[in-house]
Chain A
Amino acid sequence: MHAEAVAGIVDRVVTRYRREPNNMLQILREVQEACDWIPPEAIDRMQVVLGVPRTKIEGVAGFYSFLYTQPRGKYRILFSDNITDNMQGNRALMERLCSSLWVEPGKVSEDGLLSIDKTSCTGMCDQGPALLINNIAITGLTAARIDEIAELVRNKVPLGEWPVAFFQVEDNIRRADIMLDSRLQPGDALRAAHARVPSDGLLSSNMRSWREGLPSGIGGPAAMLDEIKRANLRGRGGAGFMTGLKWEACRNAPLKAGQQRFVVCNADEGEPGTFKDRVLLTSYADLVFEGMTAAAYAIGARRGFLYLRGEYRYLLEPLNAVLERRRQEKILGADILGIPGADFDIEIHLGAGAYVCGEESALIESLEGKRGTPRNRPPFPVTNGYLDQPTIVNNVETFAAAALIALNGGEWYAGIGTRQSAGTKILSVSGDCERPGLYEYPFGVSIRQVLTDCGAQDVQAVQVSGPSGVCLSPAEFERTIGFEDIPTAGAFTIFNHSRDMFEVARNYVHFFQHESCGFCTPCRVGTSLLKNLMDKLHNGCGSPYDFAEIEKMNQLLQSMSHCGLGHTACNPVLDTIAKFRPAYERRMAQKDFVPAFDLDQALAAARQMTGRDDPGAHIIKEEFGEDA
Chain B
Amino acid sequence: MSQTFILDGKTIPFADGQTIMQAATHAGVFIPHLCYHPDFKPHGSCKLCTVKVNGRQTASCTMRAIAGMVVESDTPEINAERLALTQMLFVEGNHFCPSCEQSGNCQLQATAYHLGMMSPHYDHFFPNRAVDASHPDILLDFNRCILCSLCVRASRDVDGKNVFALSGRGIKTHLIVNAKSGQLADTNFSLDDKAAHVCPVGVILKKRRGFAVPIGERTYDKQPISATVDVAEGN
Contact = CB atoms under 8 A, between A and B. Distances in A.
Q: Do A and B come from one complex?
A: yes
Interface of A: 40, 43-44, 53-56, 58-59, 61-65, 354, 371, 376, 513-522, 524-529, 532, 552, 556, 559-562, 595-597
Contact of A520 (B47, B81, B123, B172): B47
Given A525-B91, A529-B122, A556-B84, A63 B169 contact: yes
Given A58-B167, A528-B92, A559-B81, 15 more contacts: A54-B180, A55-B162, A58-B165, A59-B176, A371-B166, A376-B59, A521-B46, A521-B89, A521-B146, A525-B91, A528-B125, A529-B88, A559-B50, A559-B57, A595-B123
Contacts of A44: 180
B214 interface: no
Contact of B45 (A40, A62, A521, A556): A521
B88 A522 contact: yes
Contacts of B215: none
A520 B162 CA distance: 22
A376 B171 CA distance: 20
Given A63-B167, A560-B50, A54 B178 contact: yes
Contact of A522 (B47, B125, B163, B177): B47
B72 to A, nearest CB: 12
A518 B88 CA distance: 13
Contacts of B98: none
A40 B179 CA distance: 10
A354 B169 contact: yes
A10 to B, nearest CB: 15
B63 to A, nearest CB: 9
Contacts of A61: 167
Contact of A376 (B62, B91, B92, B170): B62
Contacts of A528: 92, 125, 170-171
A520 B123 CA distance: 19
Contacts of A53: 162, 165, 178
B44 A376 contact: yes
B173 A518 contact: yes
Nearest to B163: A55
Contacts of A56: 162, 165
Contacts of B45: 519-521, 562
A525 B88 contact: yes
B168 interface: yes
Given A521-B47, A556-B84, A562-B45, A62 B178 contact: no
A513 B125 CA distance: 14
17 contacts: A55-B163, A56-B165, A61-B167, A62-B169, A62-B176, A63-B167, A65-B169, A376-B59, A516-B171, A520-B45, A521-B48, A521-B85, A522-B88, A528-B92, A529-B122, A560-B57, A597-B123
Contacts of A532: 123
Given A529-B88, A596-B123, A54 B167 contact: no
A268 B57 CA distance: 28
Nearest to A595: B123
B164 interface: yes
Contacts of A513: 170-171
A519 B89 CA distance: 13
B92 A525 contact: yes
Nearest to B77: A559
B147 interface: yes
Given A55-B178, A59-B176, A560-B57, A521 B88 contact: yes
B177 A518 contact: no
Interface in B176-222: 176-180
Contacts of B180: 40, 43-44, 54
Contacts of A54: 178-180
Contacts of B88: 521-522, 525-526, 529
A595 B92 CA distance: 18
A65 B178 CA distance: 22
Contacts of A560: 47, 50, 57, 81, 85
A554 to B, nearest CB: 12
Contacts of A520: 44-47
A522 B44 CA distance: 12
